[in-house]
């Protein structure tokens, strides 16, 4: 197995800087997901790893080999695209074996590898069909099979599930993750869907504006976001962020929000000088409905079955609440919110950086 290592990678189009010194290590056998909003540079970075885009500065290494100047065909990678990129005039078997044919492998070897990949992907009964005769999910499996037969050192996936419907995406996520765990091949996967990133990755690389905001295991990134961008981007619904300041009152620390609400902070709260401007972050699942608590006005209730999403106004701030309770409340209904401040986060308002607990 082979890892992928990025050192101060930059991309410039004319006078426009797209990637600003990206450094990351994807170890051998890892499933790493590049996630971020549209235009953050994740697909550009993936194409640079593949050799489809030239690198402006920095180093890309696959295993022990620097590949900056090595053409795509010699990098021992396989890429799966968003639009499948299948040849319409070729059968499933021909599409899957095409790269091996170009490599001048024997017919017997091509047939054996295609059969092995087809068996893994549930395509054995479709090898004689053409892409137009397949569903979207089946076409995506063919695209994956075409990558698998090459037995590369690294798989690259560029939003491969974005054209599928919601139910099929969930099923394909599980299939793709199971397949990667079986093959144990280093995989780099691009998506803007943070749920996809959370459920599939060994390692998440959160990108924004051509920079890496945070790298870590999915739950570590969720539980300890490095800054307010990550806090707001990772998680659905997003973390609630309230601006305010820290105050000391009778040997106790308090957060005073700009809405005029006060929250007593736990002893483990990061040390911040009194009157420092901070942002108070709390996940929707850490806010509960109760008879006591802060009064708020219901804006929206969205029942999803197992959970209910409730949005409520707290003065000029809207808080998202996720509860297992069945809630029936019309807009304007008054409720009381109990915030579990022991699970809250504090961020420096000026920099957006997370303040570590004491």
Closest by alpha carbon to 306, among 322, 288, 329, 282?
A: 322
Mean of per-residue pLDDT scores for the chain: 91
Could you say which architecture CATH assigns to the domain 240-348?
Beta Barrel (2.40)
71 or 171, higher pLDDT? 71
**How do residues 197-230 score in pLDDT, each as one tens digit?**
999 999 999 999 999 999 999 999 999 999 999 9
The per-residue pLDDT for 5 is 98
Residue 265 pLDDT greater than 70, yes or no: yes
pLDDT tier at 120 (50, 70, 90 boundaries)?
A: confident
The per-residue pLDDT for 210 is 96
Residue 241 pLDDT greater than 60, yes or no: yes
Lowest mean pLDDT among 120-134, 185-199, 235-249, 253-267: 253-267
| Order of strands across the sheet that contains 287-303 | 317-323, 308-314, 287-303, 334-339
pLDDT tier at 148 (50, 70, 90 boundaries)?
A: confident
Distance CA 120, CA 240 (A): 43
Residue 358 pLDDT greater than 80, yes or no: no
Range picked from 157-171, 200-214, 326-340 for highest mean pLDDT? 200-214
The per-residue pLDDT for 129 is 95
**How do residues 288-320 score in pLDDT, each as one tens digit?**
998 888 999 999 999 988 899 999 998 888 999
Percent of the chain with pLDDT over 70: 99
Closest by alpha carbon to 162, among 282, 35, 287, 57?
A: 35
Taking only Cα atoms into account, the Rg of the chain, rounded to an integer number of angstroms, comes to 24
Per domain, the residue ranges of the chain are: 4-233, 240-348
Closest by alpha carbon to 142, among 153, 128, 159?
A: 128
Q: Where are the beta strands (DSSP E) in 192-233?
A: 203-208, 211-216
pLDDT tier at 250 (50, 70, 90 boundaries)?
A: confident
Residue 124 pLDDT greater than 80, yes or no: yes
State yes or no: cis peptide before 40, omega within 30 of 0: no
Phi (first) and psi of residue 30, to 5 degrees: -80, 150
**How do residues 281-294 score in pLDDT, each as one tens digit?**
999 999 999 888 89
Helix (H, G, I), strand (E, B) or coil at 111: helix
Query: 80 and 172 in contact (C-beta within 8 Å)?
Result: no
Residue 41 pLDDT greater than 80, yes or no: yes
pLDDT tier at 357 (50, 70, 90 boundaries)?
A: low
Closest by alpha carbon to 190, among 162, 233, 159?
A: 159
Q: pTM to 2 decimals?
A: 0.90
Take residue 216 and report the two structure tokens written for it: 């870590």
Could you say which architecture CATH assigns to the domain 4-233?
3-Layer(aba) Sandwich (3.40)
Q: Is 20 exposed, middle or buried (0-12, 13-18, 19+ CB in 10 A)?
A: middle
């Amino acid at each position: 197995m082979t890892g992928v290592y990025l050192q101060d990678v930059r991309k410039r189009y004319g006078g426009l800087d797209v990637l600003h010194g990206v450094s990351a290590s994807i170890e051998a056998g890892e499933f790493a997901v590049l996630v971020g909003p549209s235009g953050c540079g994740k697909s550009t970075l993936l194409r640079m790893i593949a050799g489809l885009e030239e690198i402006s500065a920095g180093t890309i290494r696959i295993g022990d080999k620097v590949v900056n100047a090595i053409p795509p065909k010699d990098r021992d990678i396989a890429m799966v695209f968003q639009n499948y990129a299948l040849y319409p005039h070729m059968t499933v078997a021909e599409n899957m074996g095409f790269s091996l044919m170009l490599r001048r492998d024997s017919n017997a070897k091509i047939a054996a590898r295609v059969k092995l990949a087809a068996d893994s992907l549930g395509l054995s009964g479709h090898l004689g069909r053409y892409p137009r005769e397949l569903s979207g999910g089946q076409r995506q499996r063919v695209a994956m099979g075409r990558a698998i037969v090459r037995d590369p050192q690294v798989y690259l996936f560029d939003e491969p599930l974005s054209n599928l419907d919601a139910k099929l995406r969930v099923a394909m996520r599980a299939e793709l993750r199971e397949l990667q765990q079986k093959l144990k091949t280093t995989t780099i996967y691009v998506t803007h869907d943070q749920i996809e990133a959370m459920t599939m990755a060994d390692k998440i690389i959160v990108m924004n504006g051509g920079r890496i905001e945070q790298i870590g295991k999915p739950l570590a990134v969720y539980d300890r976001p490095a800054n307010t961008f990550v806090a707001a981007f990772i998680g659905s619904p997003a973390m609630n962020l309230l601006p305010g300041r820290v105050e000391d009152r009778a040997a106790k620390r308090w957060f005073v929000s700009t809405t005029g609400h006060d929250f007593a902070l736990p002893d483990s709260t990061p040390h911040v000088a009194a009157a420092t401007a901070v942002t108070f972050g709390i996940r929707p699942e850490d806010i509960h409905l109760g008879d006591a608590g802060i009064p708020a006005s219901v804006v929206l209730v969205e029942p999803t079955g197992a959970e209910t999403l409730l949005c409520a106004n707290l003065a000029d701030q809207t808080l998202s609440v996720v509860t297992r309770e069945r809630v029936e409340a019309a807009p304007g209904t008054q409720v009381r919110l109990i915030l579990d401040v022991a699970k809250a986060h504090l961020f420096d308002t000026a920099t957006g950086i997370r303040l570590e607990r004491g």
